[in-house]
Structure 1
Amino acid sequence: MTYFPHIEKIKYEGKESTNPFAFRHYNPEEEVLGKPMKDHMRFAIAYWHSFVNEGNDPFGKGVNQRTWLTEDPMETAKNRVEAAFEFFEKLGVEYFCFHDMDVAPFGNSLAEFFANLDEIVDLIEQKMQETGIKLLWNTADRHTNPIYVNGAASSNNADVYAVSAAQVKKGIDISKRLGGKNFVFWGGREGYETLLNTDMPFEEENIARLYKMAIDYSNEIGHGELTFLLEPKPKEPMKHQYDFDAATSMAFLQKYGLTDRFKLNLEANHATLAGHTFEHEMAVARSYNALGSLDANQGDMLLGWDTDEFPTDLYTVTLAMYEVLENGGLEPGGINFDAKVRRTSFEMDDLFLAHIAGMDTFARGLKAAARLKEERFFDQIKEERYASYQEGIGLEIINDQTDLKKLSEYALNHNDVENKSSHIEYVKAKLNDYIY
């Protein structure tokens, strides 16, 4: 069965094209800074938002028109595999991502869930072999099941912890089977609502124990090249989540000695919820050599929750792609569209229109970021701003050739301290020239 019969393979037609089902800016083979555009971005499709999301919200039932839905959960799951790979091929992406509960129904027990997973993964593996499409990352959904009401690895219930660990083990097995290079830990329920009944150090130690078990198991089964990705989020669904932002997550990884195998999977909307910009979170991760992969979306500044809109903000995307270029790329990570169509965009074809918009936005952002790098726009600004450290007392400071006594003596003999204006408004105006 064909699920998108009216859609041909999406092609690049240039910015003058009026065809809504064509790329106007994303030309996958076009070279930017010596590398094909597709290799800079390594686009992936999120199975959950694109093929599982029903278009419901807290005030209304699902409205999405999806022809793969049936009354039989396993039949629906099999249909989704067919629909997903048809979508991947027609859109021209090379990667996809999924949670375990996205691809197979849980059933009545963990054993039944694992059996369902095996059956569906058989189909996924077959489609991967037929199409050449690859797994960017997979993960275990350890937040949807009602048993995770008090957390997964952070749960006060050891039986819940064991189920959580079993899902992680199964996920790593699936990753090896499908040739995955990354495995994500998103602690959706790893947090607390009040300290009145919470032993925070105990819960964090248990989370770290699970991560160490995951590393050990991946080594045991010969999947030691697997990169584990920790995904920060400050709130939702828990009031206080342990992986609040990039800095908090890195403090956790350093505290428990996990930095050798862990990097960060950063999401734009999660940065917003933490009160940061996306590029800030990426810069923090880069400072620890831990920028692993990205979830591409955007939030709504008027709404205080995780709206997961498709990214169309060119300003933010340009600064994000600049960080990617500064990082030397994202491989083995990529840019996963962890975004869902708006509830009013309920037709099947809207899945294509939304992803085309996001991919074109990132293509424009990449080109603008490349211009910024080629002309050393930010480099020149920073070199001028920190010029006082290139000679005299500044050079002594950064070369560790001074101390508090010498600095104090210097300060007492220099009363003519002068700061220079940053001209930040001018800088932002010039940045607009690169972007637009």
Structure 2
Amino acid sequence: MNKYFPGIGRIEYRPDAGPEDTLVFRHYNPGETIHGRTMEDWLRFSVCYFNTFRYCGSDDHYGERAHQRQWEDGTRSLDNYKRRMMAAFEFFHKLNIKYYSVSDRDMAPEGDSFEETNSYLDEMVTLACDLQRQTGVRPLYYSADLFSHPRYMNGAGANPDAHVFAYACAQVKRSLEAAKRLGADNFVFFNPRDGYQSVLQRQIFRDMSHMAQLYRMAVQYKDKIGFKGQFLIQPKPADPRRHQYESDAMSAMHMLRHFSLDKQFKLYIKPAFSRLMGRPYEHDVYIAAAFNMLGCVDASDSFPEVEATSDICAQNIHDATIIMKCVLEQSGVQPGGFTLGGRVRRESVEPRDLFHGHILAMDTFARALRNAARMISDGCFARSIQQRYTSYKSGIGERIEKGAATLEECEEYIRKCGEPQQQSARYEHYENMFNYYVYPPRQM
């Protein structure tokens, strides 16, 4: 465990570290108890295998790969995948975390046939199991990559070609078997190509019903093999090239409920996607939580002015605190957690930069967790929000809340009480309170 990152030991918690000590945690203290649970248990950090070890500093528009890693030769050979995995587990061990997040194609390349592809995957899963036993690290989630290969250019579960649909199902079957072998806590469905480019090309409801059939088959096979992990769906927002059927939390939840699948699934939310769509960073997290469907969170940031940059290492403490407030209010996201989905910049070419980026994100969310815990313990927001809704505690408001009111009754109430008085939303008051916890005043 010291071949690919020499000179770097296990990352430790050192709250007294100076500004140039960037290979330590200043805020993430795994054993610290907050609201009756350890920080490690609240956050359940996992490293995103794809963005950490498969992204090599390439730019889709302006340049070739810039990261020349010792373990990476740029080929799809099995030897290259093995070296990459050995480097990854050394990284997990030294970062001092318990989870990673991975897909089948992250682990093993495509072969020349379905049988060869599965043979490669079996071999790599065996290697991963051995490394997991050595390090104590296991998948927070496992996934089937149903979008990278050209066969999925028109989608997977929503593909108009039944042959492609069947291939996707076969791939999910093998991935569920791998997830069980690896002891994954969750299984993620991520379907960025399942949507339409033009309504003239597709039968939209038929597409979505086919996706639901894939989900049903997965639920059936999960039960058959005894896989205990939670199923998650990661919504993907629309982009200029394709409108995804699961473009946000609400559309994904509606589809699941329509096809009676909502009891078997939760959502894996990437807040950075909301920002790219012009919505508040926290929007989908709070929408999913409101319906008890928040299962996992991607801890990354984005630049809204640069559409392609949605996977930078989390560093915005203000935004992270909003997310952690929601997570604490719903008592956590177990068996999910926070996937460190950010990647280092193209110009960050040293292997140690991978540690710097992940430490930055982990410390950001650790600070956010402490901020949110103080916020909830003080009760200022709870009291202020209860006051805003006080009219629903009695009279016509209570009847509305209970579903007992009628339109006639509301009309009678208005005739009696007249025009409602304007009530300030007190937006600035709430933001001011929030900033108090994110940027507390210095003690003189």
**Which TM bucket (shorter chain)?**
over 0.9
In the alignment, the residues of structure 1 paired with residue 67 and residue 310 of structure 2 have an alpha-carbon distance, to the nearest angstrom, of 17
**Does the aligned pair in 2 maintain the 1:233–1:273 contact within 8 Å?**
no
Of 61, 78, 81, the residue aligned with 1:77 is: 81
In the alignment, the residues of structure 2 paired with residue 275 and residue 233 of structure 1 have an alpha-carbon distance, to the nearest angstrom, of 14
Q: Which residue of 1 aligns with 2:436?
A: 433
**Does the aligned pair in 1 maintain the 2:271–2:298 contact within 8 Å?**
yes
Report whether the alignment pairs 1:178 with 2:179.
no
The alignment partner of 2:423 has SS state of coil
TM-aligned CA distance change 1:382 to 1:72, over 3 Å: closer
Q: Which residue of 2 aligns with 1:55?
A: 57
Q: Which residue of 2 aligns with 1:201?
A: 205
Measured after TM superposition, the shift of residue 343 of structure 1 is 0.8
Alignment deviations for residues 58-97 of structure 1 (CA, whole Å, 9 cap, x no partner): 2100001311013572111111111111111111111001
Of 417, 421, 435, the residue aligned with 1:418 is: 421
Q: Which residue of 2 aligns with 1:9?
A: 10
Q: Which residue of 2 aligns with 1:160?
A: 164
Of 246, 253, 257, the residue aligned with 2:256 is: 253
The amino acid that maps onto 1:5 is P
**Does the aligned pair in 2 maintain the 1:372–1:378 contact within 8 Å?**
yes
Any stretches of 5+ residues in structure 2 without a counterpart? 440-444
Q: Which residue of 2 aligns with 1:286?
A: 289
**Does the aligned pair in 2 maintain the 1:273–1:306 contact within 8 Å?**
no
Alignment deviations for residues 227-247 of structure 1 (CA, whole Å, 9 cap, x no partner): 110110112585200001000
Report whether the alignment pairs 1:148 with 2:152.
yes
Query: What are the within-5 Å matches in structure 2 for residues 29-44 of structure 1?
Result: 29-44=31-46
TM-aligned CA distance change 1:382 to 1:60, over 3 Å: same
**Does the aligned pair in 1 maintain the 2:46–2:338 contact within 8 Å?**
yes
Alignment deviations for residues 131-165 of structure 1 (CA, whole Å, 9 cap, x no partner): 11121111111111111111111111111112111
TM-aligned CA distance change 1:416 to 1:150, over 3 Å: closer
What root-mean-square deviation, in Å, do the aligned CA atoms of Structure 1 and Structure 2 show? 1.5
The alignment partner of 1:150 has SS state of coil
Which stretch shows the higher mean deviation, 391-400 or 360-369?
391-400
Measured after TM superposition, the shift of residue 115 of structure 1 is 0.7
The amino acid that maps onto 1:372 is M
Measured after TM superposition, the shift of residue 22 of structure 1 is 0.5
In the alignment, the residues of structure 2 paired with residue 303 and residue 15 of structure 1 have an alpha-carbon distance, to the nearest angstrom, of 36
Query: What are the within-5 Å matches in structure 2 for residues 254-403 of structure 1?
Result: 254-403=257-406
TM-aligned CA distance change 1:7 to 1:222, over 3 Å: same
In the alignment, the residues of structure 1 paired with residue 114 and residue 31 of structure 2 have an alpha-carbon distance, to the nearest angstrom, of 44
The amino acid that maps onto 1:341 is V
The alignment partner of 1:244 has SS state of coil
Measured after TM superposition, the shift of residue 360 of structure 1 is 0.3
Which stretch shows the higher mean deviation, 286-295 or 228-237?
228-237
Measured after TM superposition, the shift of residue 111 of structure 1 is 1.6
The amino acid that maps onto 1:143 is F
In the alignment, the residues of structure 1 paired with residue 229 and residue 148 of structure 2 have an alpha-carbon distance, to the nearest angstrom, of 25
**Does the aligned pair in 2 maintain the 1:188–1:236 contact within 8 Å?**
no
Measured after TM superposition, the shift of residue 2 of structure 1 is 0.8
Q: Which residue of 1 aligns with 2:442?
A: none
The amino acid that maps onto 1:63 is A
TM-aligned CA distance change 1:250 to 1:118, over 3 Å: same
The amino acid that maps onto 2:35 is L
**Does the aligned pair in 1 maintain the 2:299–2:341 contact within 8 Å?**
yes
**Does the aligned pair in 2 maintain the 1:235–1:273 contact within 8 Å?**
no
Q: Which residue of 1 aligns with 2:135?
A: 131
The alignment partner of 1:11 has SS state of coil
**Does the aligned pair in 2 maintain the 1:9–1:89 contact within 8 Å?**
yes
The amino acid that maps onto 2:407 is L
Measured after TM superposition, the shift of residue 130 of structure 1 is 1.3
- Structure 1 runs (4+) greater than 4 angstroms displaced: none
The amino acid that maps onto 1:161 is F
Measured after TM superposition, the shift of residue 345 of structure 1 is 1.2
The alignment partner of 1:48 has SS state of helix
**Does the aligned pair in 1 maintain the 2:17–2:24 contact within 8 Å?**
no
Alignment deviations for residues 188-238 of structure 1 (CA, whole Å, 9 cap, x no partner): 211111011111111111111001000001111122x22110110112585
With normalisation by structure 2, the TM-score equals 0.95
Which stretch shows the higher mean deviation, 39-48 or 199-208?
199-208
Measured after TM superposition, the shift of residue 279 of structure 1 is 2.2
Measured after TM superposition, the shift of residue 306 of structure 1 is 4.7
Aligned length: 435
The amino acid that maps onto 1:2 is K
The amino acid that maps onto 2:100 is F
Query: What are the within-5 Å matches in structure 2 for residues 226-237 of structure 1?
Result: 226-236=229-239
**Does the aligned pair in 1 maintain the 2:273–2:310 contact within 8 Å?**
no
Measured after TM superposition, the shift of residue 53 of structure 1 is 0.7
Percent identity reads: 37
With normalisation by structure 1, the TM-score equals 0.97
Any stretches of 5+ residues in structure 1 without a counterpart? none
TM-aligned CA distance change 1:399 to 1:143, over 3 Å: closer
